[in-house]
Structure 1
Amino acid sequence: MTEPEVPLPGGVANRGLVVRVGDTVRRPLRSTSPAAHALLRHLEDVGFVGAPRFLGVDERGREVLSYVPGSTVLPPYPAWALTDEALVSVAELLRSYHSAVAGFDPSPYPWPTSPPAAFRGELVGHNDLNLDNVVFRDGRAVALIDFDLAGPGSRVWDVACAARLWAPVRPDATIRDARRGRGLRRLRLFLDAYGADDGDRRLLPAALQQNQEWFCTLIARYAAAGHQGFLEYSRSDLRMQADAYRAWLAEAGPALAAALRS
């Protein structure tokens, strides 16, 4: 008997197109899929268990990945996902991913749009550490999913992306959950749990700003192409434009500097 296709929630670019079939996940192929598949094979080869396995392509031309059991973080965010313990586990998972990917050679493959030159070339980053791209079990982060934007990047770029979204590093007026008023304290907690060195911490303000700008550019590009999910996101009252984020970072400079001290 053919197993049913169960739509999986979350995501923007592939919203409504990702389904679970038994113990597998089926997703649309992209022009850069071969690169992501090579990355997933490398992670499997080195024994990294915090990512799905690439299993092939189905009869409908979709990539087939192993299903990672657990929960992703979707609005309205559950209380367990906003705890310091959950945040620490995300930092630890990211560090484990960076250790696992360190020996992977990205040069034979075409990748999606890369981070700015100052933040690429060290390793292949995940580059999209949104809350719904991390799988949890028993309140702890256990796997990264959705490697569509993975490509040559750096540790500090991924750290900036994750901290910006998970701490979160943004004005309190745009935080409407239990993390409000705690973003910079949680940033320091994330950096300590990841094991960020002094060099990473010095680079982080610039990485935060450019990460915000990078995603604003991606969102604008997809929205201009008529992508419904990105059109909706671009109109959200919680979304910050790059210039507004830059101004806030400058205003928050002293407090941010204190949070970055090791």
Structure 2
Amino acid sequence: MPAAEVELVGGTANRGLVVRVGDTVRRPLRASSTATHALLRHLESVGFQGAPAFLGVDAQGREVLSYLPGETVTAPYPSWSMTDEALDSVAHLLRTYHEAVADFRPIGLEWAEPVPADYVTGLISHNDPNLDNVVFRDGVAVALIDFDLAGPGSPLWDVATAVRLWAPLRPDADIHDVRRGHTLTRLRRFADAYNLTDADRLRLVDAAADNHIWCMDYVRRGSEAGHPWFHQRWTTGEAELTDRTNTWFKQTAAALRQALLD
């Protein structure tokens, strides 16, 4: 008997379309799939174990990836996922990924969503290390999944993305878990755990603010294009939260920068 398909929760763009079949994951192909598969092959070739392996395309035209056992962080967030140790491990995993991908030099590949030119240095960044795109085992981040938005970027852009979501960087009133009140300390802790350079620390706050604009514009355009889950997200509070967060970045930029430099 063929293995049953079990829907995997999390995500927005492919919600309801990603399934586990035995020790594999099946996902829809995209225009950028050829580039993503080249990236995954490179990571496997250098021995990086923190990403799924690309195994081919199935009879239904879906990409087949190896299943990485563990837990991802979805609401309601488990207490272990909000600890300083979990935060540190995400930073360590991200740095390890950047080291593994540093010598990947793709040519002629189509990537999904260009990032602002100021944050493109030649490195292929993940671009979406969201809470539900990190696999944990025993409270430690061990793998990145969902490389759909990967493409030319930089370590700084990935760090900005990750810390914006994991600190998180948004108004305290919009943080509804134990991270409320700890934004500054978690921001600094992530930068320290990643061992961010002094030059990138000086740019991190602006990068995070720009990343928020980039990400929310992607959601807005998805909503306007009729994507059901992006539309639901954008029209049930995301647009208002985006405006509040953009204002918050402007009002707290000095305090955020100081936290990184103290």
What is the TM-score when the length of structure 2 is the normalising length? 0.97
Secondary structure class of the residue paired with 1:88: helix
In structure 2, distance between residues paired with 1:46 and 1:129? 21
CA contact (8 A) 1:13 1:230 kept: yes
The sequence identity of aligned pairs, in percent, is 59
Gaps of 5+ in 2: none
In structure 1, distance between residues paired with 2:106 and 2:183? 34
In structure 2, distance between residues paired with 1:240 and 1:181? 21
Quickly say closer, same or farther: Cα 1:160–1:239, change in 2 above 3 A. farther
In structure 2, distance between residues paired with 1:223 and 1:238? 11
For 1:49, the equivalent position in structure 2 comes to 49
In structure 2, distance between residues paired with 1:127 and 1:61? 25
Gaps of 5+ in 1: none
Paired AA for residue 160 in structure 1: A
CA displacement at 1:239 relative to structure 2: 5.8
CA contact (8 A) 1:216 1:241 kept: no
| Structure 1 stretches of 4+ moved >6 Å | none
For 1:236, the equivalent position in structure 2 comes to 236
CA displacement at 1:209 relative to structure 2: 1.2
1:154-169 matched pairs, under 5 angstroms = 154-169=154-169
CA displacement at 1:18 relative to structure 2: 0.3
Secondary structure class of the residue paired with 2:27: strand
For 1:80, the equivalent position in structure 2 comes to 80
1:59-208 matched pairs, under 5 angstroms = 59-208=59-208
Quickly say closer, same or farther: Cα 1:180–1:239, change in 2 above 3 A. farther
In structure 2, distance between residues paired with 1:227 and 1:191? 35
Paired AA for residue 21 in structure 1: V
Paired AA for residue 9 in structure 2: P
Paired AA for residue 31 in structure 1: A
1:223 aligns with 2:223: yes
CA contact (8 A) 1:174 1:238 kept: no
Paired AA for residue 162 in structure 1: A
In structure 1, distance between residues paired with 2:189 and 2:236? 28
CA displacement at 1:121 relative to structure 2: 3.0
In structure 2, distance between residues paired with 1:157 and 1:8? 27
CA displacement at 1:242 relative to structure 2: 4.7
CA contact (8 A) 2:20 2:26 kept: yes
In structure 2, distance between residues paired with 1:43 and 1:30? 20
CA contact (8 A) 1:114 1:120 kept: no
| Number of matched pairs | 262
What is the TM-score when the length of structure 1 is the normalising length? 0.97
CA contact (8 A) 2:171 2:244 kept: no
Paired AA for residue 173 in structure 1: A
CA displacement at 1:240 relative to structure 2: 5.3
